[in-house]
Structure 1
Amino acid sequence: MSAKPQLTFWQIWNMCFGFLGIQFGFALQNANVSRIFQTLGAPMDEIPMLWVAAPLTGLIVQPIVGYYSDRTWTRLGRRRPYFLYGALITTLALLFMPNSPTLWIAAGLLWIMDASINVSMEPFRALVGDQLRPEQRSTGYAMQSFFIGIGAVVASFLPWILAQVGVANTAEPGVVPDTVRYAFYAGGLVLFAAVLWTVLSTREYAPEVLKAFDDAKPLPATKTDAKRAVSKGLIWLLVGLVGVAVIFMMSLDKQLYLLTGGIAAYGLLLSITARGYGPKMLREIVDDLQQMPDEMRKLAVVQFFSWFALFAMWIYTTAAVTEIHFGSTDTSSAAYNEGANWVGVLFGAYNGFAAIAAIIIPFLVRWFGLRFSHMLNVSLGGAALLSFALIRDPNWLLLSMVGVGFAWASILSLPYSLLSNSVPAQKMGVYMGIFNFFIVIPQLMAASTLGFLLKTFFDTKPIYALIIGGVSLILSGLFVLRVSEPKPTHSPQSVTGNGEASCA
């Protein structure tokens, strides 16, 4: 067995460059979809349910893409075919979404857009684990964070920039302004071009070569206890069904059905696959979920609190800032649209700070290790979200975005560095996809509970969603301390080279 060659700066740059385009599209979605939904007539308390498309498609798509990409080998390699086709579909969705004539067409296009973004995004995570040695992985994921930040800065600022050069920023009621439409058109082109660069400039190791490297973790030696898995599945199913019944009998918020229905669906799926029913792909993914490494289980808790906070921020920042800092909830007013554009600037700012943080994070990791660096960064983000309730001058919110930027860069890099050192190389793709469950589940939880919580306890004031998010980020930082710090793999046969032997 031998160590992987240490890749050069430009090789890591090329393999991560496509993330610039993916995040360009993702940032346009995050900063503008709530605005599009409100423009097309969505009530505030229903917006979280419309957003459910994003996490739900990730829940379904990422493990499937990971499973098949682990088993793919073509002229384009293992992961790159998925980059390319996902980018093509995402580009088409970006071109059509701002022209949606109705709310439900916009919601449907969000499903398509997010599914195709996930098809491209999941293999990018696995590619870094495939190509880089353990001690280079934090650099690789930080490089992805850098491109995420750069792409998102430009994308988030685009509507504001277009408004400054004279493009119409208001429109008739029910019509998306030209600033948003033209930004989405530009996003589609940038996304496809950036992903194509990575596809053409990066080569991959063949599967048999990957298995021979000394950082390859062994496959689990045991299989899941079928009888125990069936019992667990039946318990989850019962809990979910009881929850559905309670919501129905007490006439609770209908959005809670998403949470209880998801619990019941998981229990049913676990019971069925443990008995040997269902497609082989589905059975193996569920089995891998049951046998995930202990460190991955600990990271799942960290991810839960991190992504609950992020989803709250993406959904409610526009509503909170336009209401509190610009004094308007009328989506056709100049004040509301000025505030919505400012949110685009804020989102662009935190992504810009994330790009800077991505340069700093590898140094933090050398000084403090992965765990303490992550705790520091997400705690800064938690304090930043809490500050929205205290600051009244919208210009000062740019300072809050420094903390959000450090948290965002860290969330997109350090948990993946911790994860990639604990999973088998042969299952890098499927475990990266399963890891997405712990990004998706908190978003589904947020979509199903935040609207209910705000309406029930906080008079539907969106600022309280940001406060909840701030507390959640701080909790994620505390939980990361439970995760073991990985030790880098060294080998006397380590070499420095171009990393392209036995590649496609």
Structure 2
Amino acid sequence: MGKDGLHHMLASEKPRQGFWGLWNISFGFFGIQIGFALQNANMSRVFQTLGASMDDLPALWVAAPLTGLIVQPIIGHMSDRTWTRLGRRRPYFLTGAVMAALALFLMPLAPTIAAPLVFAAAMLWVLDASLNVSMEPFRAFVGDMLRTDQHSAGYAVQTAFIGAGAVVGSIFPWLLEHLGVSNVAGEGALPDTVRFSFWFGAAALLVAVLWTVVTTREYSPEQQAQFGGAEDAPDDAEIMQRLSAKSLTGGVGWIAAGLAVAVLVLLMDLEKEMLLLGALLAIYGVLDMVAIRMARAGRPPNMLSSIVGDFSGMPTVMKRLALVQFFSWSALFIMWINTTPVVTQYVFGSTDTASAAYNEGANWVNVLFTVYNGVAAIAALALLPVMSRRFGQVRTHSICLVLGALGFLGFFILRDATALILCEIGIGIAWASILAMPYAILASNLPQAKLGIYMGLFNIFVVVPQLLVATVMGQIMLWLFPGEPVWTMLFAAAAWIVAALAMTRVSAAIPQG
């Protein structure tokens, strides 16, 4: 065998990464998650401090799901087609980190601005968009850098950093208060605990992402082609041909669905936030029809045609995982919205937000959320790799989802605050698996050249459940169980059981051999 042939054989598989290699690849996610945790835990407090009412909060918070829905597919598409001296994915998560750090730094200055609430809302849009710009390429980055048999370990390490970042970002204001930093401020002003936490988060985010940028080197497109992928990706010409063959009926159907949602909102006096869902359905229908017409007119490929074409032509394994993802994240958003009212009302016995019992219960929810994030960080490193080797990725995810469903069932049945910690252990294990296993399966079974766009499109099935739960769940509870939020935990348990059952269909879609 000649030297060139030997070199090709030796280079045909990516080098195995050791512990520090896995650490460096995902450490930036630790900083990104600190940013998300600070945003999730403090932005309602910021908005209310600046004069927003409770009724204003849903409209102000719509930035979070909407920016993810728009930004991630675009960044995924662009990063797949990027190659610079800095690499393929790193330019995006570095740019996103710089912008997110700037937004975190400026947010506490909102009370000094002429229109403080408008400024804070604008900074939330910038922050969330920038965090999504950073986060999306990190998902694909693990698949880029690791060989197939290390995907589970790679996403497990990333999940551990997500859990650790969530704990650090969530607990930092509390920690500052216990170190003597003031947690109160005058009317319209943010306390020092919040201001210093945002500034700490800005620095931590930037340092963590810079660590990954400096300590990693991406494989060039030529090297990636030599390593090969799960399968060949459809090229631009194939996508345009596939689009031109599509019927316009699908787009009309999406538009009709959007209009139907709008009519239902008006006729049944539903939550006005549902109009956003209807608008998104109609807009996608319009974009689908525009992309088809461009393809039929022989227009050259562009971002719109690529994104629409890739969404309509998702591989089977991704479609089946999308169903799992939909029910998985539906339960998560139910939990995030309803855990506080459930715990305060049924465990601590109060719905009066001014009472000591209510606030004691609300503080206990912070403890419970810290537990499940901490469990997720530990389970990602100590449990998921062992389970995936023993049972395989698909069965591991099913088992973890069932454990999480039992945790939600515990919230429905139990009335003891300490016992709820056991429930959070099951939920934490499921959370770790949701953040790791679907992405490991995708990275191992999707075309390498389109890993970015597919990961971005996969985020749709994170965002849509959020919009549905935020808009529809409240209406369902009002109809069926008014004033009884504990029933939402039964819905969450059922959603994870459905997701676990849906995982049984994923194995058949994974290429064998």
Q: What TM-score results when the alignment is normalised by the length of structure 2?
A: 0.87
Q: CA deviation at 1:100?
A: 4.4
Give per-residue Cα distances to partners, 1:167-206, cap 9 Å, x unaligned: 3445566655443333333222211111110010000000
Shift of the 342–106 alpha-carbon distance from structure 1 to 2, 3 Å rule, reads: farther
Shift of the 397–157 alpha-carbon distance from structure 1 to 2, 3 Å rule, reads: farther
Counterpart in 2 of 1:347?
Answer: 369
Greater shift in the superposed pair: 80-89 or 326-335: 326-335
- Asked whether the 8 Å contact 1:318–1:340 carries over to 2, the reply is yes
Q: CA deviation at 1:80?
A: 0.7
1: CA distance between counterparts of 2:138 and 2:130? 13
Q: 2:310 aligned to 277, 288, 298, which one?
A: 288
Greater shift in the superposed pair: 187-196 or 378-387: 378-387
Shift of the 369–246 alpha-carbon distance from structure 1 to 2, 3 Å rule, reads: same
Counterpart in 2 of 1:425?
Answer: 448
Counterpart in 1 of 2:336?
Answer: 314
Q: Any gaps of 5 or more consecutive residues in structure 1?
A: 490-504
Counterpart in 2 of 1:401?
Answer: 424
Shift of the 304–104 alpha-carbon distance from structure 1 to 2, 3 Å rule, reads: farther
Identity value in percent: 52
Shift of the 319–99 alpha-carbon distance from structure 1 to 2, 3 Å rule, reads: farther
2: CA distance between counterparts of 1:353 and 1:409? 8
Greater shift in the superposed pair: 297-306 or 436-445: 436-445
Are 2:275 and 1:253 aligned? no
Q: CA deviation at 1:397?
A: 2.8
Give per-residue Cα distances to partners, 1:421-469, cap 9 Å, x unaligned: 2211111111111111111111122222133333443335544444432
Higher Rg of the two aligned structures: 2
The two structures, once aligned, show a CA RMSD in angstroms of 2.7
Counterpart in 1 of 2:249?
Answer: 231
2: CA distance between counterparts of 1:448 and 1:196? 38
Counterpart in 2 of 1:499?
Answer: none
Alignment of 1:150-169 (within 5 A): 150-169=164-183
Counterpart in 2 of 1:269?
Answer: 287
Alignment of 1:446-461 (within 5 A): 446-459=469-482, 461=484
Greater shift in the superposed pair: 136-145 or 76-85: 76-85
Counterpart in 2 of 1:362?
Answer: 385
Q: Which amino acid aligns with 1:441?
A: V
Are 2:80 and 1:70 aligned? yes
Counterpart in 2 of 1:495?
Answer: none
Counterpart in 2 of 1:200?
Answer: 214
Q: 1:13 aligned to 11, 15, 23, which one?
A: 23
Q: CA deviation at 1:81?
A: 1.1
Q: Which amino acid aligns with 1:362?
A: P
- Asked whether the 8 Å contact 1:61–1:115 carries over to 2, the reply is yes
Q: CA deviation at 1:332?
A: 6.7
2: CA distance between counterparts of 1:164 and 1:463? 33
Shift of the 107–468 alpha-carbon distance from structure 1 to 2, 3 Å rule, reads: farther
Q: 1:439 aligned to 440, 452, 462, which one?
A: 462
Give per-residue Cα distances to partners, 1:297-355, cap 9 Å, x unaligned: 00110110111122222233344444544556666776655544433332222111011
Counterpart in 1 of 2:99?
Answer: 89
Give per-residue Cα distances to partners, 1:57-93, cap 9 Å, x unaligned: 1111111111111111112111111111111121222
Counterpart in 2 of 1:179?
Answer: 193
- Asked whether the 8 Å contact 2:445–2:511 carries over to 1, the reply is no
Q: Any gaps of 5 or more consecutive residues in structure 2?
A: 1-7
- Asked whether the 8 Å contact 1:27–1:156 carries over to 2, the reply is yes
Give per-residue Cα distances to partners, 1:140-161, cap 9 Å, x unaligned: 0001011111221222222332
Q: Which has the higher contact order (CA 8 A, sep 6+)?
A: 1
- Asked whether the 8 Å contact 2:243–2:309 carries over to 1, the reply is no
- Asked whether the 8 Å contact 2:243–2:291 carries over to 1, the reply is no
Shift of the 116–463 alpha-carbon distance from structure 1 to 2, 3 Å rule, reads: farther
Shift of the 94–426 alpha-carbon distance from structure 1 to 2, 3 Å rule, reads: same
Give per-residue Cα distances to partners, 1:29-61, cap 9 Å, x unaligned: 233334445555666566444432211111111
Q: Which amino acid aligns with 2:400?
A: N
